[in-house]
Amino acid sequence: MNAPIASRRRPSPEALAAVLGELEARFGERAVVNASILEQHGHGEGLADAALPDVVVYPHDDEEVAAIVRSCAAARVPVIAFGVGTSLEGHVAAIHGGVCVDLSQMNRVLEINAEDLDCRVQAGVTREELNADLKGTGLFFPIDPGANATLGGMAATRASGTNAVRYGTMRENVLGLTVVTADGDIVTTGGRARKSSAGYDLTRLYVGSEGTLGIITEVSLRLYGVPEAMSAAVGQFDDLRSAVQTVIVAMQMGIPVARIELLDEVQMDACIRHSKLEGYAAKPTLFFEFHGTSASVAEQAELMQQLAAEHGGGAFRFATAQEDRSKLWKARHNAYYAALALQPGSFGFSTDACVPISRLADCVLETRADIDATGLTCPIVGHVGDGNFHVLVLFDPHDAGQRARAEGLASRVSMRAIAMGGTCTGEHGVGIHKLEALVAEHGKAVGLMRTIKRALDPLDIMNPGKTVPLEQATGDGR
């Protein structure tokens, strides 16, 4: 079914020189080969996996992105899209060299249609910038992966985060895209209607494609009315199973909680120290947020408190004022830094298992036992309403044994989730680190992904080596 495709290698010096010459002529000082800029663009925030691009270019509009891709296509030079570099799976590492397209100067909010609850932004707008622009409209964009990522990057990795249990992920909230294809064409997908049955769902195909099928240059998004009322609550439990069981029952009952975050005792200990949270114990803890009318928020909180009490949880502590809620969520967002502080000098990375809710307690508890057996210090945090949790794996980068144990643990976390009917990545993506796990999870479907990659990027220039393994692996069709 597939035409043979040349396997990817670093571009030849001649090809690269040709592209560099064209980029410098067109972009002048916006085509940069300075070493520290290359270094900054060679990695995200995941496991050390830097691989430098040959040049970083800062386009201002779709046409400029298209011109870059056309130059690269003519010379078969790799093109890697870059937002703010917060991705976790090596998505931006230029493992075959090439041109890094930094979209941070494409940061205009193009339209806000308040009456339709939608907007259109350039790919380099960050989620915090968008929400700042929305101030005063009564609307907000809820998807919150923690990092202040760009909306283009969030679309490309199908990001989600703390609010997804109520508002969905980028999959549900992107209405349409503008994409520069592998041959440098500018194509718009989707539309502004809330639903459509008109043709193949190209929008969903590009959401999560990690720059391997084209570069996302504009994103149209659904917005939501700022809820009339919001309150946050914290519940603490004597053991991990009770906390997780509380979540499972809440989800089965359909309580429309906006956020349910788990911090295990190791993570809670770290957060108490790092964020100076007062009056909390280093015990398994759930952070909740409720959105709705005043009556509905009160009703949700009461139901959750009842459920928690039935599972041995203590009385909730509420935070209704904006300031108190912010302090709590800031502590949650800083969980990664709090964890690093547990073991100064260590390196940390995050796993990303997501399982059907009925398996969540088993998966978390087996993982906790697995961690403890490794002797590593690893907190667990999670967007548990979705069945998604992260192990923050800390290790000493100078200790080869620790690193091997850390990587072994991460691999087992992925495989355990897959064996329980879940996924190796709930929200971080595949990048370069999860190619094997992808094959374990999707089997023959990886063959279809490969066919699509080859059809839409026949020269294999779009972020090569990521997302879909082009060479066939065992257990995977075609």
Looking only at residues 320 through 359 of this chain, which bind a second copy when binding is defined by CB under 8 A?
352, 354-358
Among the residue ranges 25-33, 59-67, 124-132, 421-429, the one whose residues contact a second copy (CB under 8 A): 421-429
Q: Please, what is the minimum distance in Å from the beta carbon of residue 119 to a second copy?
A: 12
Q: Interaction with a second copy in 177-216: which residues (CB under 8 A)?
A: 181, 183, 185-189, 191-202, 204-205, 207-209, 213
Q: Is residue 252 near a second copy by the rule CB under 8 A?
A: yes
Helix (H, G, I), strand (E, B) or coil at 31: strand
For the bound state, the minimum distance from the C-beta of residue 168 to a second copy, rounded and expressed in Å, comes to: 8
Nearest distance from C-beta of residue 18 to a second copy, angstroms: 22
Q: Which is nearer to a second copy, 135 or 478 (CB)?
A: 478
Residues 214-233 touching a second copy, rule: CB under 8 A, are: 224-225
Q: Does residue 452 belong to the site contacting a second copy (CB under 8 A)?
A: yes
Return the residues of window 261-290 that contact a second copy according to CB under 8 A.
none
In the region spanning residues 80 to 139, those forming contacts with a second copy, defined by CB under 8 A, are 113, 115-118
Closest CB to a second copy among 52 and 417?
417
Which CB atom, from 367 or from 467, has the smaller least distance to a second copy? Answer: 467
User: Should residue 424 be labelled a site residue for a second copy when binding is judged by CB under 8 A?
Assistant: yes
Rule CB under 8 A: say whether 475 interacts with a second copy: no
| Footprint on residues 373-402 left by a second copy (CB under 8 A) | 386-388
Out of 267, 402, 423, 463, point to the residue binding a second copy (CB under 8 A): 423
Find the part of the chain contacting a second copy (CB under 8 A) among 9-17, 231-239, 275-283, 442-450.
442-450
Q: Which of 426, 432, 460, 465 lies at the binding interface for a second copy (CB under 8 A)?
A: 426
Minimal distance, residue 164 CB to a second copy, in Å? 6
